[in-house]
Amino acid sequence: MDWKNKKVLVTGADGFIGSHLVEMLHATGAKVKALTYYNSFNYWGWLEGLTILDDIEVINGDIRDPFICNSITRDTDIIFHLAALISIPYSYEAPKSYIETNVTGTLNMCHAALHNKCGRIICTSTSEVYGTANYVPIDEKHPLQPQSPYSASKIGGDSIAMSYFHSFGLPLVLARPFNTYGPRQSLRAVIPSIITQMLKGEKESHLGNVSPTRDFNYVKDTCKGLISLGEAEDIEGEIINIGSGSEISISDLFMLIKKLTNSLSEMVVREERIRPENSEVFRLCCDNSKLKNLSGYSPRYSLEQGLKETIQWYMQSENLDKFKTHIYNV
Question: What positions carry a catalytic annotation?
Answer: 150
> How many alpha carbons fall within 13 Å on the CB side of residue 149?
17
305: DSSP letter = H
Distance CA 182, CA 100 (A): 28
| Cis peptide bond N-terminal to 95, omega within 30 | no
Are the CB atoms for 107 and 99 separated by under 8 Å? no
Other beta carbons within 10 Å of 163: 14
Are the CB atoms for 217 and 179 separated by under 8 Å? yes
> How many alpha carbons fall within 13 Å on the CB side of residue 216?
22
Return the percent helix, strand and coil in the chain, to nearest 5.
45, 15, 40
Distance CA 143, CA 135 (A): 10
Comparing CA positions, the residue from 96, 244, 106 lying closest to residue 181 is 244
Distance CA 242, CA 180 (A): 9
Q: What are phi and psi of 156, to 5 degrees?
A: -60, -45
3-state secondary structure of 121: strand
Distance CA 260, CA 264 (A): 11
Comparing CA positions, the residue from 184, 200, 202, 203 lying closest to residue 192 is 184
- Name, in order, each residue with C-beta under 8 angstroms of 249's C-beta and a sequence gap of 6 or more: 210, 211, 212, 213
Comparing CA positions, the residue from 116, 105, 91, 84 lying closest to residue 13 is 84
